[in-house]
Amino acid sequence: MSRPFRMFRSSRDGPTDGKVRRLTPVRLGTVLIAAVGLLLGPVAIAVSAASTPRASTPVMGSYVSVTPFRISDTRPNSGQPNAGKGLTAADTLPVQVTGVGTAPIPSGASAVVLNVTAINPTVSGFLTVFPEGSTMPTVSNLNFKPAVTVANLVTVPLSSSGKVSIYNHAGSTNVVVDVDGYYTSTPSTNGKGLYNSVSPTRVLGNLQLGTAIGPNTSSPVTVAGTAAADGVPVTATAVVTNVTAAHGTRASFLTVYPAGVTPMPTASSVNFTAGQAVANRVTVGVGTGGQIEVYNHAGTVNVDVDVDGYYTGAGGTGSVFVPITPVRVADTRAHSLVGTETSIAANTTEKFDLATSASGIPATASAVAGNLTVIAGDAPSYLTVYPTADTTVPVASDVNWIANEIVPNFTIADTAGTGSVDVYNGRGATINLAVDAFGYFTVSTAGPIMVLAAVTHTSIAITYNEGVSCPTDASSDFADYWTGSAAGGAITAKSCTTSGDVLSLTGTFTLPGSTGGSIVYTAPSSTTKAVYAPSKVTEFAASQKLAVTGAPAPAIVSALTTSSTLVITYNEDVSCAAVNTVPAAFAYDYTGIASGLAGTITAKCASNVLTLTATGSGSGVKAPASGASIAYTAPKTALAKRSVFATGSVPSLYAVTQTISGAAIR
């Protein structure tokens, strides 16, 4: 992972000497509210406690993106779970996460990515989100001030029953909860959902001014598969973005969602008033054509989109996520000091250790997910988080603020495997900083992963996501199964060879048929018999399953004529129908001449060659002249006794109607 999530220092005209800052999101009179806005009230922030929270049992998971959907809304008559259950001071609300909503989160999920929104709170306060049934940790996920609707991105482990609890510190407020994605409890076996950071790359707008989006308009943005996406592969399942709205002519909101999703989800990503500059971080699934959509509700607004990282598709490499019970790992305030860090003066860098005994985060973690909460001084500034190993401060910012604000930002901080980061206060006045950790990323050690396979009668060629070496007894490790039948059976491999990232099994195999199937690799108990990466001899492939698409129907490749035979070669082994039935499906024609076959025609198959032989009175096969063609017409009834079909396919795979001509006939 190369860099943490960072926001470009924008050169647009803004309220704080030209830089983007987080301002109060507009309160909307609709169910659409900010999805990942981050603005805290000026006073309330959780105070560190002396007790040490305990990290949960480590589990490693991959990320699964979903189209945002709502699972809880305490406003009366919302029609959602928990309607009418607004929170008062010191209230705790249990929220069921798994098994509810339009795209239910599975019971096996280890952690969830939520958008938690406080609506019209009565006093300054904060919310804390934590696994239901556990001791409430000393952290704050979302701070608010009176009469201001505020949202924040939250990553939190789930209880064994799939619930989270939301605690309200003071006053009363309604709370809305939307789901953006989740982490599995075990890493994917196909390399999907692993995280990789990239250097922040602008894919919409420029450093001077964002792209204008009009009212009730959606703008497609390419985020993957092009040079502009700075290394995000077309196979990426989701991207982490920073979305900035500025110079809006009316109060409005932006909704960011995967391209191709219809209807547009009932959610919003950035809320703003006229003239505001507001930036929010959004994790969004990659849609059709490697694109996302950015929708503006009202007025005209300038929008920037920066890509900060991505989650892999099948065959990818990267880092898995390990959720922990939320814990405060640093707080520079004297009355609630956690750690040894001190306040950060203007134009000064302070090192922060995130791998602490309280967090349980190992020093080898590649990144840490958490909140950075700035308790600002009497001047505006910005904060940049970067790996301690870096010698220069990146031209980027993670938190922006005006004077005397308390401003958090959810961040995945790149530690470069050292367990620590440097935090730079750009200018202005001395600030205090609280750091809450919710989990960490660690490089996946799942070993080589199967990406795709090509199956023939005599070989199975499996492509991996990295170079591999053969097991000593491949036949006992692999099995192929076709949809609706196990007739693929156990593979009897005569030999196993590798070339780079391709492992080839040779033997006698059954084709998967048009419905496809799967290849299953079972990691042996003895590592000496396992598939492994030669570059890392201890990196053994884990048990995994690879879907295999259906085989193509037998296709004519070429044909050769003699005076009495027509020899047709296919792209795979074929079986013949009964004598005098298959030939009726063939016509050997010249331009203007009805037939090139004469006499009694019989058929015989050997491997991938079908031979039609003409016998009897007046028999023969005319030599191919200019304009010759061979046409095969698939019988109306696809039965083995009437059709050409692939040898041993399960289910039977019949040749389709097809024609060859020209140089393919000789």
DSSP letter string, 233-246: -TT-SEEEEEEEEE
Q: What is the pLDDT of residue 654?
A: 82
Q: What is the pLDDT of residue 66?
A: 92
pLDDT at 2 over 60: no
The residue-averaged pLDDT of 28-33 equals 30
pLDDT level of residue 63 (50, 70, 90 thresholds): very high
pLDDT level of residue 432 (50, 70, 90 thresholds): very high
Q: For the whole model, what pTM was predicted? A: 0.67
Distances (CA, A) of 639 to 178, 573, 644: 53, 17, 9
The residue-averaged pLDDT of 515-544 equals 78
* Residue 258 structure tokens: 């995967």
Give the CATH number of domain 195-311; options: 2.60.40, 1.10.8, 2.30.29, 2.60.120: 2.60.120
Q: What is the pLDDT of residue 34?
A: 29
Q: What is the pLDDT of residue 591?
A: 52
Distances (CA, A) of 237 to 50, 218, 260, 632: 41, 21, 14, 42
The residue-averaged pLDDT of 635-640 equals 64
User: CA angle 354-356-362, nearest 5°?
Assistant: 80
For the stretch 532-590, pLDDT in tens is: 888 776 678 888 888 887 667 788 888 888 888 888 888 778 887 654 566 777 776 65
For the stretch 215-260, pLDDT in tens is: 999 999 999 987 655 689 999 999 988 788 888 999 888 888 999 9
The CATH number given to 450-548 is 2.60.40
Ramachandran region of residue 439, left (φ > 0), alpha (ψ -120 to 50) or beta? left
The residue-averaged pLDDT of 59-72 equals 91
Q: Tell whether omega for the bond before 651 is within 30 degrees of 0, i.e. cis.
A: yes
For the stretch 338-373, pLDDT in tens is: 989 999 999 999 999 999 888 889 888 888 999 888
pLDDT at 55 over 80: no
- Spatial distance between the Cα atoms of 230 and 254, rounded to a whole number of angstroms: 24
Contact 233, 225 (CB under 8 A): yes
pLDDT level of residue 42 (50, 70, 90 thresholds): very low
pLDDT at 182 over 90: yes
Domains 195-311 and 450-548 share a fold: no
pLDDT at 129 over 50: yes
The pLDDT > 70 percentage for the chain reads 80
Q: What is the pLDDT of residue 290?
A: 93
Q: For 132, what's the count of Cα atoms within 13 Å in the CB-facing half-sphere? A: 17
Q: Using the 8-state DSSP alphabet, how is residue 397 labeled?
A: B
Higher pLDDT, 340 or 399: 340
Q: Which of 108-117, 377-386, 587-596, 639-648 has the lowest mean pLDDT?
A: 587-596
- What 3-state class would DSSP assign to 528? helix
Higher pLDDT, 47 or 243: 243
Domain ranges in the chain? 195-311, 450-548, 556-664
